[in-house]
Structure 1
Amino acid sequence: MIERIHLAIVREVQRRGSLTAAAQTLCLTQSALSHSIKKLEAQLGTALWQRDGRQLRLTQAGQALLAVANRVLPLLASTEQQLRQIARGERGMLRIGMECHPCYAWLLGVLQPFLAAWPHVDIDVRQQFKFGGLGALLNHDIDLLVTPDPVYKKELIFEPVFDYEQVLVVSRRHPLAGAAWIDPPQLAEETLLTYPVEADRLDIFKLFLTPAGIIPKQHKTVETTDILLQLVAANRGVTALPNWLVNEYASKFDIASIRLGPRGIAKQIFLGIRAVDRGVAYLAAFVQQARSSRPDKPGV
């Protein structure tokens, strides 16, 4: 059986020109090196070198083995380095699941410095999950979940990243514009625009309208934030978004924000990871970067 040491011996003898020099490079005695090669030659039934005076000349079989050594040994060395980096948490694939539709713009601000600092970590961002984000995290389909609604289990850790308030967004020409806050019945005759997410997962429904028994006159879904806010600015409907996102778009669209109820709806964004992965260095670095890139931080 051809082993790694055989490949290393063939390569070093070719490089150094003698068994003695190759043995020194490989930290072997010359007798141990010679014994190893003679044993391999006996197994293969062919010689790997021929003596040409004081020089060793590779046979056709030796040339074939040298070609393999030149391909395989660098690959093995590279693989070992990658595995060591993975073991130290310096290399890997970070699969991010999103349960916060408005958070994509914020996520871009987190990814840019993270990717620069961790060049050996690949990123994959996923939004759709067959069994939801929690199931995807538990089933190892993703490694990190961005969510405003953590579900605490012993297998998982949810790290809070930043606080925000969910607010109603209306056109500045809307009759409600300028109000300090609104009650649920005031939305009964409105067209509510939301992202294409199930109503029972939307805060505007589960924390504001549904407990009060209120159903908006119409409910329409819109894929992108820009189009959503263009429709709101055109007075085609109202929506509910995080206050930090509204602040980002306030100079771009003619919109106003209103508190939902006299106390508002306070929320947090969390990053969920599996407890067994808490020691992975790049996961910890991502959480740290997310906290330093929070959208409510001045200059971010």
Structure 2
Amino acid sequence: MMLERIHLAILQEVEKQGSLTAAADILCVTQSALSHSMKKLEQQLGTDIWLREGRSLRLTQAGQYLLAVANRVLPQLTLAEERLRQFAQGERGTLRIGMECHPCYQWLLKVVSPYLTAWPDVDVDVKQKFQFGGIGALFGYEIDLLVTPDPLHKPGLKFEPVFDYEQVLVVASNHKLAKFEYVKPKQLLHEVLITYPVAIDRLDIYNQFLQPAGVAPKRHKTIETTDIMMQMVASGRGVAALPRWLVQEYSSKVDVVPIQLGQKGIAKQIFLGARETDLEIDYLKAFIELARKPSASLFTAS
């Protein structure tokens, strides 16, 4: 066999580690054995995979193509081996959930708790950082389900809406905007807007509210955790845009109020995305069905 898994693994590790020596250490082979294996492959293929530039290596066009194959194929092989090992040991598997929704952890907990009870032989793992974004993580077999408010409908993926919510402005209860039924974009001209560390073009308050009106806030500040964000808003350090259900969850702990964004408000949905080929896996299907149940959508009350 000309192309073997070890060749793909070598390519991937050399790219990650930056040198043949470091890659050889990770793969538990000698550098000479690694070099010999790749040299033999180059001879069989009739083309170079690397070009040496001093002490460093640069991938040729053929090498770049093989690296792309390695990045796509190796995660699938690893997942297949893990699943088969689990079957052999009588286990069901692990449901790996990716989060592209910072405030959705509270909702996810309400789904995961009954799910773990109903499926005692399935583990749940949650990831928030992906090499190529959430969609890439699905295609790359890093995750099995993606929680996102902004689905990208691509061939091979299916997105199921699981609940509706409203995106609102959050202000301190003594803030001058707190008395309004809804706010207009220009009313945020002199405000510090606090958001999660997400690209501006993916923030609803920008792309559905401020930018269409040609308005920008006085300052934009990012904070990773919801708890700190709510404390900052309650202390008058800024305003934020969050789901109404999340504000209601916090309103008993911090002095904040939700206000509608614009006269019509901003309606949103949370989706669960999966690979179409996985939709018949019983424990994955069961998670989606459980997420759709009203008991999982306790935050949808207005």
Letter in 1 for 2:87: Q
**Who is 1:209 aligned against?**
210
Asked whether the 8 Å contact 2:165–2:268 carries over to 1, the reply is yes
Q: Distance in 1 between matches of 2:169 and 2:256?
A: 10
**Who is 2:106 aligned against?**
105
Q: Call closer, same or farther: CA 1:281–1:84 in 2, change over 3 Å.
A: farther
Deviation at 1:108, TM superposition (A): 1.1
Q: Call closer, same or farther: CA 1:81–1:136 in 2, change over 3 Å.
A: closer
**Who is 1:53 aligned against?**
none
1:202-281 aligned at under 5 Å gives the runs: 202-281=203-282
Q: Distance in 1 between matches of 2:251 and 2:235?
A: 14
Selected match of 1:82 from 80, 87, 91: 87
**Who is 1:182 aligned against?**
183
Q: Call closer, same or farther: CA 1:201–1:80 in 2, change over 3 Å.
A: closer
**Who is 1:39 aligned against?**
none
Letter in 2 for 1:251: S
1:22-61 aligned at under 5 Å gives the runs: none
Letter in 2 for 1:294: S
SS at match of 1:296: helix
Q: Call closer, same or farther: CA 1:265–1:82 in 2, change over 3 Å.
A: same
Deviation at 1:295, TM superposition (A): 2.9
Deviation at 1:154, TM superposition (A): 2.5
SS at match of 1:141: coil
**Who is 1:286 aligned against?**
287
Q: Distance in 1 between matches of 2:156 and 2:104?
A: 25
Q: Call closer, same or farther: CA 1:117–1:176 in 2, change over 3 Å.
A: same
Asked whether the 8 Å contact 1:188–1:217 carries over to 2, the reply is yes
Q: Call closer, same or farther: CA 1:80–1:122 in 2, change over 3 Å.
A: closer
SS at match of 1:124: strand
Deviation by residue 1:49-81 (Cα, 9 ceiling, x = unmatched): xxxxxxxxxxxxxxxxxxxxxxxxxxxxxx888
Letter in 2 for 1:132: G
Q: Distance in 2 between matches of 1:136 and 1:252?
A: 35
Deviation at 1:84, TM superposition (A): 8.9
Asked whether the 8 Å contact 1:167–1:240 carries over to 2, the reply is yes
Normalised by the size of structure 2, how large is the TM-score? Answer: 0.68
Unaligned runs of 5+ in 1: 1-78
SS at match of 1:122: strand
**Who is 2:299 aligned against?**
296
Letter in 2 for 1:201: R
Deviation at 1:172, TM superposition (A): 1.0
Normalised by the size of structure 1, how large is the TM-score? Answer: 0.69
Deviation at 1:123, TM superposition (A): 1.5
Quick one: percent identity of the two aligned structures?
Answer: 59
**Who is 1:191 aligned against?**
192
SS at match of 2:216: coil
Q: Distance in 2 between matches of 1:296 and 1:187?
A: 26
Letter in 1 for 2:119: W
**Who is 2:135 aligned against?**
134
Q: Distance in 1 between matches of 2:199 and 2:165?
A: 21
Asked whether the 8 Å contact 2:209–2:261 carries over to 1, the reply is yes
Letter in 1 for 2:246: L
Asked whether the 8 Å contact 1:178–1:256 carries over to 2, the reply is no
Asked whether the 8 Å contact 2:86–2:93 carries over to 1, the reply is no
